[in-house]
Amino acid sequence: MTSTATLALADPAEAADLGGFLTRLLRFDRAAAVRLQAVQSPETAEQGAGVLAVFGRLPLGTTGVIAVRTARLAALAQAADLTVSAGQLLEGVDEDGGTVAVPAPVTGPAWAGLLPPRTGWKPLGAAATDQVFPQLMSGVREFKERSAAVPEHHRSRAVLDELADEIWSRPLDAVPELPLRAAHAAYVIGFLHPGTPLSAHRAGSWLRLNAPHGSVAVRAAAAPGAGLGLTPLL
């Protein structure tokens, strides 16, 4: 696939969802890069259609979380796997036409070269978004209150990251195998909608939270700067 290729989405309404996903990523980092993969799926291969997956990293505390937004493609002439500027990709999203213009590739950050596994995921449990929100909002309030209580001359990025890690590393009450960080990431990237179902999965040291609007993946015992697995999560 060339950098001038344009992808047509099977559902034009998904263009707006993808644009919203990219906009939220750019709030964390205006120079953010994303890894983009366009592949044929077993269900649509005969029709020549495919799936677009866009991977972005959320820097929450000292631990990064991978957020994944997928969309069905109306047609796919050639598979693609490249890292691009999130801002340029957003500029290429045509919400009226339901298409995405693929920008030229860039040299990506280390995380973009390594992704969670595609297979081997085992279910951990399920929950409704409404079960997650009370604990999530409590964590948000606690972070705001405790960070505000830190004297301004001590309120460094390192201090705030340490506080964030303390709060978001706690078990998620609805699915204790997951850290609260997974729900927080899904919330800030726009994947949690009232009344929608959630499911949790594990593959090796990776944990994944699925929502109807996207997925997030984290390490079970994440360390600062931890790398990611090798194959795409679709």
pLDDT over threshold 60, residue 76: yes
Q: What is the band of 71 on the pLDDT scale with cuts at 50, 70, 90?
A: very high
Q: What is the mean pLDDT of residues 134-161?
A: 94
Q: Tell me whether residue 96 is exposed, middle or buried, using C-beta atoms within 10 angstroms of its C-beta: 0 to 12, 13 to 18, 19 or more.
A: exposed
Helix extents (H) in the chain = 14-28, 86-91, 129-149, 157-168, 180-188
Last residue within a domain, chosen from 54, 83, 113 = 113
What DSSP character marks residue 205? T
Q: Mind listing the pLDDT tens digit for each residue in 16-62? A: 999 999 999 999 999 999 999 998 866 655 556 899 999 999 988 78
Domains in the chain, number = 2
Q: Mind listing the pLDDT tens digit for each residue in 178-188? A: 999 999 999 99
Q: Domain check: are 108 and 135 in the same one?
A: no
Q: Domain check: are 35 and 109 in the same one?
A: yes
For residue 234, the model assigns a pLDDT of 36
* Residue at 157 is within a domain: yes
Last residue within a domain, chosen from 89, 113, 137 = 113
* Residue at 27 is within a domain: yes
Q: How far is residue 220's CA from residue 63's CA, in Å, rounded to a whole number?
A: 11
Q: Mind listing the pLDDT tens digit for each residue in 83-116? A: 999 999 999 999 999 999 999 999 988 888 888 8
* Residue at 180 is within a domain: yes
Q: Mind listing the pLDDT tens digit for each residue in 189-215? A: 999 999 999 999 999 989 999 999 899
Q: What is the domain extent for residue 147?
A: 122-202
Q: Domain check: are 43 and 84 in the same one?
A: yes
pLDDT over threshold 80, residue 227: no
Provide CB contacts within 8 A for 135, sequence distance 6+: 172, 173, 174, 180, 183
For residue 120, the model assigns a pLDDT of 92
CATH number for the domain including 65? Answer: 3.10.150
Q: How far is residue 176's CA from residue 114's CA, in Å, rounded to a whole number?
A: 26
Q: Domain check: are 78 and 147 in the same one?
A: no
Q: What is the mean pLDDT of residues 59-78?
A: 88
Q: Domain check: are 20 and 88 in the same one?
A: yes
For residue 87, the model assigns a pLDDT of 97
Q: Domain check: are 126 and 106 in the same one?
A: no
Strands (E) in the chain, as ranges, are 6-8, 33-39, 50-60, 63-73, 80-85, 93-94, 99-101, 122-128, 171-172, 175-179, 197-203, 206-211, 214-219
Q: How far is residue 123's CA from residue 93's CA, in Å, rounded to a whole number?
A: 34
For residue 216, the model assigns a pLDDT of 97
Closest to 3 measured CA to CA, from 86, 115, 83, 112: 83
For residue 63, the model assigns a pLDDT of 78
For residue 22, the model assigns a pLDDT of 97
